[in-house]
Each structure stands twice: as structure tokens, then as C-alpha cells.
Structure 1
């Protein structure tokens, strides 16, 4: 940009010098001359109106050449494009000596997102993600594709299409801020693993200073499951924002919030062979620029199905100096399926994070998982992660 400014300045100066004339006036007669002489006083440098118009057009043409970029055509006045990448190294040490340990570099998530705004209150969004299949091939997968309209009801907007489900997106922005190393307690395979973050459906989102909520209907299996049957999942999040931050886009290192939430799911009818899949959960979180602490109590009644279980979780983050954080989490989930014996999952995460700049964060952590099944999957994971936002 500096080079452009300097080149344009030089062009303007040269152009103006080329089109100017210097005028002189006789002290006694007042006559005007274009050349200096006895008894003549210099009046200054002048340019004609016609020459000025020509020079202005030349300047505009030159500026267009200098700053011209790739043209983007759209039927809306504003496009917002951004991406998120979770890049890392992952070493897994299995407790079972019959299982081979694993060492791998990986890209855990690669989101590409476009929002098309026709005004500041309404937009369409599409988010693509990459997913590696069991044969090693990488494929693109649709994460979100929805229409958002604000204020269709008092303080309430709506997402329609393939949308956010009520709980996980909120939790990742207020309670557990390290999605790049682990999903939330309700989603990760190392704990409850009862719901995912997106689904075809409709989601009504309410925001006031002291109360926020999301309420909607969804396909129970979410965005990467086959839908069958006529049942729909009724889901909700009701949050008391005790410090009045409900309308604010909060930042962990500069804002304070205290939130208490009741969230859940109730399956109406039958979906994918299931006729009952009821989640009830409580969550509380308190954040200051120095630290965060949050916790869950949750139960899932799947009528003896694979989601049956109950448990709790607590996580914390301490920020002792600028740009550095120490993080920890413990998940405890008892699985109670009718087709198998009960067993308990225990998941411990501990690590340190460094904010390199507003676009990049580095995280190093250990994740220890145990369960008490006869053929358990006990392991320790060592992760190094670069979380990139642009």
C-alpha cells in the first residue's frame, strides 16, 4: 500500500508540473506576462480548467490501475468470507500392548464459510468442512447452510436450513473454548457422545441482556446421519445471563460473564429406529479476564439405547500472564445401555495455550481416557495444535 501511495504521489506531481504556467505582473501597468522581466513580480504557477480536468482524469485512471484487484460479483451488497483450521500433531499411547501406538500429523477441521448479507439483519450462510474417510480420502462435507432473519419476533431471530443446534455452539463460545483439541462434554466420544452440533431444522434464537435462548425442531441424528421415520427432535437452551451480557459478543480475555443454563432434547415420534432420546442438562460458567470455570450435570434417557447414561464435567482455564493460558477438564460419564453391562468413561485434559496473534493460537495438551469395559480403550493422547482463524 505504501508503494501505491508513493507512485501515485509522484504521478500527480509530474502531471501537475507538466500542465502549469508561471505568470508575472508589471508593478506599474498591471500587465500580465508569461516571462520574467524588469519591474515584474511573480504571481505564481497556474493551470487552466481544461488542463485540470484532463489531469484529474489521468489520476483517476492511474489509481484504478494501481489498486485494481479481482472482481467479485454477487447479487447481495456484502459478502463475508472466513476460514478456520485445526492443524496438529497427535501421538496416541494405548494401554493395551496388543494395540499399536499411533503417531500422525493431522488437520482436524478445515472450515470455509461465506455469509451473503442483503442487509445487516438478514443473510444466508454456507459452511463447508473437510472429512477424512476410513480409506484415507478427503471429502468436503456440508456443515451449515441456512437463512437467518432477525427480529421476526421480539428480540428473536430464526435460522432455517441446516442450522446450529441449541447447545454446542453456545458452549464453545462461553464454557469450553478449546474445540480444536476436544469436542464439548456432550459431543466427544470420550464422554457423553449423545448429540452433534448441526442439523437440518429450524432454530429460534432470542437475545436480551439477562436472558438468551435457542428453541427449535431438528432431525435427531444431525448433519451426518441418515434421517428415517416421522419423528423430530425438540431441543432447547434457556440461559440466565446474570451480568447482563446476553446481547454482547463476549471475549474471554476482556469480558466478565456468569451464566446458568438449562438445556435438553425431547424426541417426538420415531427417528432412525429410536422412539425415545431425552436429554436434560444443567450448566454454569463464570469467566473473568483472569480465569474461567464451568461445569455440567446431564442425563440422557435413550430407553436402553446406546445414548443411555448420566454424568458430570468440570473445566477451568487460568490466564496468569498476557497471551498464556493453563487449561484443564475432567469428564465423568456412566453408560447404561440395556444391551451391555454398565461402564464408566473418565476423560482428563490438561494443557497450555499461547495466543500468537489474533489469528493464531498454539496449544499443547495431554488427554487421558479410561473406561472399565472388559475390552477397554484406555489411552493417553499427546497433542500439539495450531488453531487458525482468518
Structure 2
């Protein structure tokens, strides 16, 4: 349509210019003498306007040439339009291919720990961490805490995938690889308000457990909640509901550089094996989990709270966990057990409930979680795995300083206190532990690609690693304390 209108406009303009430029004369005839004149006068009758035949013929030839030229141009335009359509169709088909929809990103964390007090005291247990940084043992050292690659993307409007391997140092091994996440999100609508997550993913219990290690301020998750889901992940099915306006709020917080826990739904429910990451199910009972959280904008409280967001929620899990029992172990008082602990009838049963509240730092922030329940734990005196009470959590305060030292970087100083009395079901014999720990330090986000964390940590925790010293004493279940200086350099890509 546009091409035709353009052609008519060109023809009209050209035709007008040619007709006005052609030689034309008016002829008049004297009524008495019948003589012809080129000018009007008395007794003269106008016969009409006349053009030279040769000029008209030339004009017609020029118009015909223009018409032919326009026809050729129109043909060229049509061919060009067809080529553009063909290229667009080819690109659309190419975009549908899976390898054009997969994104690759990742991050690496290099740590260094320097023990300052409390380690290698004769006759005393060494300071070790089971659920946290496994490099806290024996020597001050460098280690790769995480080396992650993330493959993710939308297969179509309803199906998304996420795969995350890890190549970090663990248990003293410098060459190690494991699968952390491998799941598909199956959405029931294009806005992904309702979806099912199938595969190996984080279990939606707690808030800090769900927060990526790439985003978390403190170097390790709190034992009290992490002990509920060792390595935070398991294999199962999880259903999530995330209203569009909440999805937008979480994205807006992330764009501001604030550290959310990710989108695990305003409401979430699921069933999973329960034996923790990359391990086969060991009984006929699946774990069940329920998750609820909601971010609230505090603008209604007045200008002081403009932009502030408070997120609150609660979680619960229930299931049975088969404990990894040692056939021989030494207690903290030096008694050698030559048989694995027995397990009473309900000794592997676990039930927990948790609550959380997070005020995102704008600039001041606050974070707290607590959980209660019962779970499988070792009774050292009777050498039996039985159901015991547990409780614990953490409180953390932080302050966000933008454009630190006149740069675009961000500095977030923080302090965190954690407490836990309860079993670590993922440790040998589900050792019952007592943890008191204070971290204070800072995270410096120098740029999007580079972050530095430094903390001073005061630890008092039960050692859950079974070992016997040369003097016959045991580290197992011994209480160890000490101070550490910890640093982590993280680069994102």
C-alpha cells in the first residue's frame, strides 16, 4: 500500500511539471476575415489552446519511461520485502533452537582462613566445622569454597531449565565435582505465577538457606537452620505460587543491589527424598515441606520508611532421616564404642517449624530466623539414635554504604550472632551439638564482577568429626572454641 501511494505521488508531481513546461498557445479567429491570431482582440473569437504535436509526443515518451522505471523499482521493492520476510522467518526458527535460549553464568569464591586462638591445644579438640566451611580444620590455608557454573534458560513460555555443577574444594580434596542443581520449572501460565519445580533443587525451608551463596553476606549459613537440610538441596517436586506484583518487587530489590533469597514463591509446598544432596533415599518415607513468605513495602508508615521492604514468613518440614552410623567411634571422654548406635522405633523421625523476618538494608537492614522441633540425635551414654529436641537461629544487622571512597562500589558492614542446640543429622551418628558464634566484618562490592568479604569470627562449637589423637583423647563431640580471621574473594561472570 505504501509503495503504490508513493508511485502515484511521484507520477503526479512529474506529470504536473511536464504539462506546465510544454509549449501551448491560444488561437483566435477574426469573425469577419476569418484570419487567425495568437492574441485576443476586437471581433476575435477564441478557438482554444493548442500544443505542438512534437512536444506532446516527447512528453508522452518521457512519461512512459518514468512509468517503466517505477514498475522496475516496484519490482525491486517487492523482492527486497520478500527477502526481509525470509530473513525474519529464518531468525525466528533459529531462535527456537535450545542452544540460543541457554544462558551461562557463574562465580568463584577463594577463601583464606587464619586461626588466631584456640586451636591445637594439647588434650583439647580442634576447631572444626561440619555444616559450614570445611576448610576450618588443621591448617590455615587457601581453598576454593565454590566454583560454580549455571546453565539456565527458557525452553518455551512454559518450561525453563536450571543446571548448576560445582568444582570446589571439599573434605581436603583439590579435585572434586558434584551436581548441585538440576531441575525444570513447569509453569501453568505465561507470567509463571503458578509453577512446579521438578528435579534436584533447594528445599524451601528457611530464608538464608534459599539465598544464593553468591549473594549472602556472612560466609556460612547458620547451623540451626542449615542442619535441617544439609547442602540445602534434595530431589523432589515443589509447587510455587508467586503473584506478578511480588515477582516485580523482588526484581526491583535485586536491581538496587539488595540481596534477596530468590523466587521460591509466596507459598510453596513439596515432597522430597530427605537424605540430602546426591544421596539415595534410605526409607519408604518422603519428607514434606511448606513455605510461606511475603515482602511488605513500608511506605504507608510515612516518609521515613519510603522504599523500605520488610519480608516475613514461616516454614515447616516433616519426615524420616536414616542416620549414617559409625561402627566404631570414641566419645569425648575417651570411651571407645565398638558397635554402631542402635536406633529406637521413632529415632529417625524429624519435625521442624521456623520463622523469619528480613528488613532489606536501605541503608540499615536486619535479618533474623529461628526454628524449633525434634530430630534424630546420638545418645552417647546409651549408644542409641533417638528423637531429641532442637532449637536455634541467628540475628544479623547490616548497613549499606553506596559510592564508598567516591567510587561506584558498595560497602556493607555487618554483625551476626548464631545459636544452636540440636543434632546435625548429616554428621556421623547425628551428633548432638552446641554452637555459639559471632561474626562481624564487611562485604565490599568493588564492582559487579568482584567482591571481597573479611570477617572476624569467634566460635564455640561441638566437633562432629570422629578422630582420635595420639594421646588417646578424641575430638568427637568435644567442645572447641577459638577466633578466626576469614577472607573471601569472589569474582562473578
The verdict on a shared fold, with TM-score over 0.5 as the criterion, is yes
Show the counterpart of 1:83.
Answer: 106
Q: Deviations over 1:143-184 (max 9, x none)?
A: 011111223698321110112211356655499952671124
Q: Partners of 2:414 and 2:315 in 1: how far apart?
A: 25
Report whether the alignment pairs 1:361 with 2:399. no
Q: Partners of 1:90 and 1:150 in 2: how far apart?
A: 43
Aligned with 1:349 (options 416, 422, 439): 439
Quickly say closer, same or farther: Cα 1:241–1:89, change in 2 above 3 A.
same
The higher relative CO (CA closer than 8 Å, separation ≥ 6) is in: 2
Q: Deviations over 1:83-128 (max 9, x none)?
A: 1211121112451423596221111001111114222442122100
Q: Deviations over 1:274-296 (max 9, x none)?
A: 64111111111112420210112
Contact 1:150 1:157 survives alignment (8 Å): yes
Report how many aligned residue pairs link the two structures. Answer: 311
Considering fraction of residues, name the structure with more helix.
Answer: 2
Q: Deviations over 1:321-347 (max 9, x none)?
A: 43111111000112379x999763101
1:15-164 correspondence to structure 2 within 5 Å = 75-93=98-116, 95-96=118-119, 97-98=121-122, 99=126, 102-134=139-171, 136-151=173-188, 155-164=193-202
Quickly say closer, same or farther: Cα 1:133–1:73, change in 2 above 3 A.
farther
Show the counterpart of 2:241.
Answer: 206
The structure whose Rg is larger is 2
Quickly say closer, same or farther: Cα 1:193–1:165, change in 2 above 3 A.
closer
Q: Partners of 1:340 and 1:73 in 2: how far apart?
A: 49
Show the counterpart of 1:317.
Answer: 398
Aligned with 2:418 (options 303, 316, 331): 331
Which consecutive residues of structure 2, in runs of 5 or more, have no partner in the other structure? 1-71, 77-94, 127-136, 247-264, 300-305, 324-342, 379-384, 404-409, 464-476
Contact 1:258 1:286 survives alignment (8 Å): yes
Which consecutive residues of structure 1, in runs of 5 or more, have no partner in the other structure? 1-48, 54-71, 246-253
1:287-306 correspondence to structure 2 within 5 Å = 287-304=360-377
Shift of 1:133: 4.6
Considering fraction of residues, name the structure with more strand.
Answer: 1
Moved more, 170-179 or 321-330: 170-179
Quickly say closer, same or farther: Cα 1:364–1:124, change in 2 above 3 A.
same
Quickly say closer, same or farther: Cα 1:320–1:76, change in 2 above 3 A.
closer
Provide the aligned C-alpha RMSD in A.
3.8
Describe the SS at the equivalent of 1:196.
Answer: helix
Describe the SS at the equivalent of 1:110.
Answer: strand
Quickly say closer, same or farther: Cα 1:84–1:342, change in 2 above 3 A.
closer
Show the counterpart of 1:266.
Answer: 318
TM-score normalized by structure 2? 0.55
Contact 1:78 1:118 survives alignment (8 Å): yes
Describe the SS at the equivalent of 2:188.
Answer: strand
Q: Deviations over 1:44-67 (max 9, x none)?
A: xxxxx9xxx9xxxxxxxxxxxxxx
Q: Partners of 1:138 and 1:278 in 2: how far apart?
A: 36
Q: Partners of 2:430 and 2:202 in 1: how far apart?
A: 32
Aligned with 1:243 (options 294, 297, 302): 297
